């Protein structure tokens, strides 16, 4: 028989059982590599363009175009002073364009398989040449790029270019290939869909059909090669693995898929012995550009190419230059480890991990901070291999997805740049709050700066200041924003704890109402430490509300940092403020007390980089 007494005892026993605090997820035995450098991505055709017309589908004469020569020593020195170590020159290798260069012996491109008037830089037309748009003297275009490489090196900066291994332009035709080199597909057996020695995949017996509804340059514009047809028989398989003679307007229809010996339609069966012809062709292309003294390759859609190819080709290229780096654009988190440990990549995009987590925190009210926790926890020793960023040519501008508040970028970039010891990337215009506004042509109003059209980049042009590259036309707020990014980039390179130190998360010891005032949906906190240098990083993603809270520092953290847990210390901000917070180690370690912790206050979108010093 259940009595009132027994019920009260039963419920009392439940009530007396406290939920245990979150376990410490940290593992300071994970090795850390010093891989901290700063990549600055520029769309080469946009960077030096001073023309402000920005006409819809404007021609090169109307909207202008940046040149290799625009990127002069003044521009390069300004970027170096900003904190950059590597420049990723995007769109260098020749791709299809709707500007007629036939008088220079360059085949006029077919408008019906070109996106935009300036064309996609990822639809390579000739792997042994550079984009004629970028040259002042088209006949000497390669020399102008080689001079840019030399200028970049003379400024103590390194050069990264794209390598696009998965696909080429639908109308690939190399007029600059070295003697003895065959174009892709010249020796293909076109009667079959797949042959391991073919360079392309085919749709036998069918003609290629331009995607339904595609109107190159819009209905209002004409071009000499625009006629709604493109002759290709048999039809080749489209770059995003579309086995249809007529891909859709949303497919990568301007490109064709390269065959690395994978029978895609037969359970992706692999035929790598003997080595397929495409492997050798791509090795020779990489060797060619390594010979031009580029310092690295950003490998487009690397995961669409078998990891076995990378495992073979990267060591081959490092025989030419052991210091050359390979960066993989990869989105499948489950394949990260394979592309480093098997594929031999030096670095990977951290898009599907930290970028997605930080973007959610910057743009959504219901974002979960635990997404950040999961990212570093799951990656373990790969953290040092991750290239972290908030913008690139594929992603929307912070000013767009951040609701116009460009200062969200400082909060997000502080987290991205200080979480690990891997490289960091900025996209040209990010540092001055470029919004990616305007309908340029093929690119619509989507918050991205166009990669398909001739265009000027308004906020960037204010910094460029008619070629002075001194920020002379920036607003006071833009100058302050750029200075904040610059200070952050210099800090993460000069401070040993941020550059190559161990990581210890504090968030776990403060979340779930363990510490008074600690809002675990908006705040994130951790320590980076190396020898006698110890840094506490705190970011507040709340764009409206300042936070006042207790910040616990655990016994284990004191031990890991080699500090006396009973000592007296002071936190001094190295970044955006001159704030200081004194604390007694005895009063910040008790995880059973909500009142234990350092008293901290942080502004909306605040970002602290706090050095721990003894009082």
* The predicted structure's pLDDT at residue 8: 47
Torsion from C-alpha of 399, 405, 408, 413, nearest 10 degrees: 40
Question: Rounded to the nearest 5°, which phi and psi values hold at 295?
Answer: -100, -5
Span 100-148, pLDDT tens digits: 999 999 999 999 999 999 999 999 999 999 999 999 999 999 999 999 9
Q: Nearest CA to 542 among 357, 364, 354?
A: 364
What are 258's strand-pairing partners?
Answer: 200
Q: Tell me: pLDDT of 367 over 90.
A: no
Euclidean distance between CA atoms 163 and 92, whole angstroms: 10
Q: What is the mean pLDDT of residues 54-72?
A: 99
Span 253-287, pLDDT tens digits: 999 999 999 999 999 999 999 999 999 999 999 99
E strands, 552-605, in order: 568-573, 580-584, 598-602
Q: What is the mean pLDDT of residues 79-98?
A: 99
Q: Nearest CA to 230 among 117, 116, 109, 112?
A: 112
CATH 2.60.40.1180 residue spans of the chain: 502-614
Q: Is the model more confident about 31 or about 370?
A: 31
DSSP state of 169: E
Q: What is the mean pLDDT of residues 185-210?
A: 98
Span 497-525, pLDDT tens digits: 999 999 999 999 999 999 999 999 999 99
Would you call the peptide bond into 145 cis, given omega within 30 degrees of 0 as the criterion?
A: no
- Token pair, residue 494, equals 């000069």
* The predicted structure's pLDDT at residue 15: 45
Count CA atoms closer than 13 A to 430's CA, side-chain side. 30
Superfamily of structural domain 502-614:
Golgi alpha-mannosidase II (2.60.40.1180)
Task: Give the number of other Cβ atoms within 10 Å of residue 494's Cβ.
Answer: 12
Q: Tell me: pLDDT of 371 over 50.
A: yes
* The predicted structure's pLDDT at residue 326: 99
Q: What separation in angstroms does the CA of 267 have from each of 187, 191, 209, 334?
A: 25, 21, 27, 19
Helices and strands (H, E) in the chain, number of each type: 16, 24
Please report which confidence band the pLDDT of residue 453 belongs to, taking 50, 70 and 90 as the band edges: very high
Euclidean distance between CA atoms 222 and 260, whole angstroms: 37
Q: Tell me: pLDDT of 546 over 70.
A: yes
* The predicted structure's pLDDT at residue 370: 84
Give the percent of the chain with pLDDT over 70.
Answer: 97
What is the CATH number assigned to the segment(s) 38-172+278-494?
Answer: 3.20.20.80
Q: What is the mean pLDDT of residues 246-250?
A: 98
Cβ neighbours of residue 419 closer than 8 Å, sequence gap 6 or more: 354, 372, 376, 383, 388, 503, 526
pTM of the model: 0.96
DSSP string computed for 387-439: EEES--TTSPPHHHHTTT-TTHHHHHHHHHHHSSSS-EEEETTGGGT----S-
Span 385-432, pLDDT tens digits: 999 999 999 999 999 999 899 999 999 999 999 999 999 999 999 999
Q: Tell me: pLDDT of 6 over 80.
A: no
* The predicted structure's pLDDT at residue 17: 58
CATH 3.20.20.80 residue spans of the chain: 38-172+278-494
Compute the mean pLDDT over every residue in the chain, rounded to the nearest whole number: 96
């Amino acid at each position: 028989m259940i009595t009132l007494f027994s019920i009260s005892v039963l419920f009392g026993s439940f009530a007396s059982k406290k939920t245990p605090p979150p376990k410490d997820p940290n593992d300071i035995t994970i090795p850390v590599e010093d891989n901290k450098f700063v990549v600055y991505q520029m769309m080469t055709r946009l960077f030096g363009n001073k023309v402000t017309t920005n006409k819809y589908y404007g021609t090169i004469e109307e909207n202008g175009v940046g040149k290799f020569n625009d990127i002069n020593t003044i521009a390069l020195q300004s970027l170096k002073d900003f904190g950059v170590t590597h420049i990723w020159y995007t769109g260098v290798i020749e791709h299809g364009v709707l500007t007629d260069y036939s008088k220079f012996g360059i085949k006029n491109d077919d408008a019906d398989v070109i996106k935009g008037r300036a064309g996609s830089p990822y639809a390579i037309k000739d792997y042994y040449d550079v984009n004629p748009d970028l040259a002042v003297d088209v006949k000497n275009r390669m020399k102008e790029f080689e001079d840019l490489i030399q200028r970049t090196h003379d400024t103590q900066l390194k050069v990264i270019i794209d390598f696009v291994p998965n696909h080429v332009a639908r109308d690939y035709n190399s007029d600059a290939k070295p003697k003895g080199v065959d174009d892709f597909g010249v020796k293909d057996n076109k009667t079959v869909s797949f042959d391991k020695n073919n360079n392309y995949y085919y749709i036998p017996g069918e003609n290629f059909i331009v995607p339904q509804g595609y109107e190159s340059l819009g209905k209002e514009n004409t071009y000499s090669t625009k006629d709604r047809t493109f002759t290709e028989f048999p039809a080749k398989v489209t770059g995003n693995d579309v086995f249809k003679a007529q891909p859709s307007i949303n497919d990568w229809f301007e490109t064709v898929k390269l065959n690395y010996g994978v029978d895609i339609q037969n359970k992706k069966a692999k035929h790598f012995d003997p080595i397929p012809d495409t492997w050798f062709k791509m090795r020779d292309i990489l060797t060619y550009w390594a010979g031009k003294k580029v310092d690295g390759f950003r490998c487009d859609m690397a995961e669409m190419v078998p990891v076995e190819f990378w495992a073979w080709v990267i060591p081959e290229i490092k025989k030419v230059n052991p210091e050359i780096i390979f960066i993989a654009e990869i989105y499948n988190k489950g394949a990260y480890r394979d592309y480093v440990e098997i594929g031999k990549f030096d670095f990977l995009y951290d898009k599907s991990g930290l970028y997605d987590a930080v973007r959610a925190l910057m743009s959504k009210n219901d974002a979960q901070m635990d997404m950040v926790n999961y990212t570093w926890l799951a990656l373990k020793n790969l953290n040092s291999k991750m290239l972290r960023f908030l913008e690139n040519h594929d992603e929307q501008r912070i000013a767009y997805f951040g609701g116009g508040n460009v200062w969200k970028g400082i909060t997000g970039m502080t987290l991205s740049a200080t979480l690990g010891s891997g490289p960091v990337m900025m996209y040209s215009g990010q540092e001055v709050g470029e919004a990616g506004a305007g309908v340029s042509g093929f690119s619509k109003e989507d918050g991205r700066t166009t990669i398909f059209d001739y265009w000027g980049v308004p906020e960037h042009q204010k910094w460029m200041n008619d070629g002075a590259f001194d920020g002379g036309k920036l607003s006071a707020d833009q100058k302050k924003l750029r200075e904040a990014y610059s200070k952050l980039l210099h800090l993460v390179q000069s401070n040993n704890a941020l550059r190559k130190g161990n990581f210890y998360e504090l968030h776990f010891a403060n979340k779930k109402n363990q510490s008074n005032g600690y809002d675990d949906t908006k705040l994130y906190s951790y320590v980076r430490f190396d020898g006698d240098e110890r840094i506490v990083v705190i970011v507040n993603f709340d764009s409206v509300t300042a936070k006042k809270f207790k910040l616990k520092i655990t016994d284990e953290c004191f031990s890991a940092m080699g500090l006396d847990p009973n000592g007296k210390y002071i936190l001094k901000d190295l970044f955006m403020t001159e704030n200081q917070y004194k604390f007694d180690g005895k009063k910040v370690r008790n995880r059973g007390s909500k009142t234990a912790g350092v008293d901290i206050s942080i502004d909306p979108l605040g970002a602290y980089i706090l050095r721990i010093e003894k009082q």
